[in-house]
Amino acid sequence: MATKKKCECGCGVDTGFQAPLKAINFLRAHAQGAAQTVAVAWEREDGHVFRYDVTIPKRIHPAMLPGVRHLVERVAKFVLWSAGGWKLYLSGPDEIVKPVAKAYTKKGARAFDYEFFNDLYGRPIETAILPLRKMPVTCEREVVVKGNTNGNRIGFDLGASDFKISALKSGKVVFSKEFPWDPRPQSDPEYHYAKLSAGLEEAALALGGKVDAIGGSSAGTFVGKKLGVASLIRGVKEKNPSKYAIAQNLFARVEDEWQCPFEVFNDGDVTALAGAITMKRTGILGVAMGSSEAAGYINPKGALTGRISELAFAPVDLNPNAGVCEWSGDAGVGAMYFSQQAVNYLACRFGMKFPKTMKLPERLKVVQAAMEKREEVALKIYLMIGRYLANAAAWYHEFYDYSNLMILGRVTSGFGGDIILNTARMGLEAVDPLLAEQIDIFMPDEKARRLGQSVAAAQIPSIG
């Protein structure tokens, strides 16, 4: 059981939060002069690899082994959900790495992850334990994506509770509208296709019926333009698996119908792209706090790296008694700290009451209304999220080379977003003063907010 202490953010609430980076640094400090390396690497498509090394003392006291093993497994999981992969490489003492390898099997502790990536890549996860000298090194692709404004363009952004469509004529927004939908429980993929098609038709009318390009942003994972695993089509997979392939090829159907340049990216990548377009920055990690946590990354060279960046499932808290993600069944992952799920979890924990039938978007609105009235319980929620973000900013930097952390999404709307931002900035100074000087945590300015993910997505395709 984790030892609880008073929260350092000033909200006065007990917390058992355990920052992974604090454990990493502890092991580094105690390994000086007598160190060994535990290496973790995941290989994904086309031979791309991401590797992370954990430095530990040469001699580990038996009482410390469970904690070190848990940390290494959490690192393995973070790399998996950050970069993606179908083959896990490990190097280190057998008593540490063998249990980690066993976890990523069909019946292991990480069976959800195993099945997820089996579905995504169409092949089961493999594991290999190697000497350190034979471990693969980081090797990632770089794809530069430039914004385009010529012609008549449509952009869409698909979320879990609504989707937004914008139409642009020579870079000027002439149409923008949010469409409510409830895609997750739907068992028929025609629901998704019909809803999106109707929205695109309405946007096309604003362009006089002439559409030169369509760009999209969507929650979920991608293999090319095909949806890999996505909560948007979760109902089809669970209730109507024979039509799952149709649901996965939603965007191919749309592309075939419209017969124009068409591109679609993970919503997190488009988040980062929006920041790059409007603020002319590179080295951006974008984090959207919406129905879940979406993330995207543009490296210091201004390129996408092909990472999966599904940080909703990436661990940010080592506490095994932390909040549990209802989908993955795992504790301490990003969705429970930076999303509507996080707001709901904290609100219930702090004593707020909601009707059982009230959905998360409506619960968020209740909390936001309480925040506008400066109610103490709402303040506690946003202070806590800000504190979590401060620790995550330092932790994420271990895996992403970035100098700009852009946060947005419904959770950051209103006065609560300001609390999150300011708490995270001050918290990062306490966590790592030197890193705080290197990283700018910010929310999009008014220009970027006007742009939005649907407008940014519209600028992705190139027109002949």
Query: What does the block give as tokens for 454?
Result: 């649907």
Q: Please tell me the distance from the alpha carbon of residue 407 to that of residue 45, in angstroms, as a whole number.
A: 29
CATH class of 270-455: alpha beta
pLDDT of residue 450: 54
Q: Please tell me the distance from the alpha carbon of residue 13 to that of residue 384, in angstroms, as a whole number.
A: 9
3-state helix, strand, coil in the chain (%, to 5): 45, 20, 35
Whether 140 contacts 453, CB under 8 Å: no
Q: What angle do CA 133, 135, 140 make, to 5 degrees?
A: 130
How do the domains of the chain map onto residue ranges?
Answer: 10-134, 143-264, 270-455
> Looking at the domain that runs over 143-264, which CATH code has it been given?
3.30.420.40
Query: What does the block give as tokens for 34?
Result: 């007598």
Report residues of the chain scoring pLDDT below 70. 1-15, 445-451
Q: Please tell me the distance from the alpha carbon of residue 61 to that of residue 66, in angstroms, as a whole number.
A: 10
**Which residue type occupies 279?**
M
* Residue 312 DSSP label: G
**Which residue type occupies 289?**
M
11-16's contacts with Cβ under 8 Å and 24+ in sequence apart are 11/379, 11/380, 11/383, 11/384, 11/387, 12/380, 13/350, 13/380, 13/384, 15/384, 16/319, 16/321, 16/322
270-455 has the same fold as 143-264? yes
Work out whether the CA dihedral 21, 324, 103, 76 comes out positive or negative. Answer: negative
What pTM value is reported for the model? 0.81
Q: Please tell me the distance from the alpha carbon of residue 274 to that of residue 457, in angstroms, as a whole number.
A: 8
pLDDT of residue 158: 94
In sequence order, the β-bridge partners of residue 324 are: 331
pLDDT tens readout for residues 60-79: 889 999 999 999 999 999 99
Query: What does the block give as tokens for 284?
Result: 């951006």
pLDDT of residue 1: 31
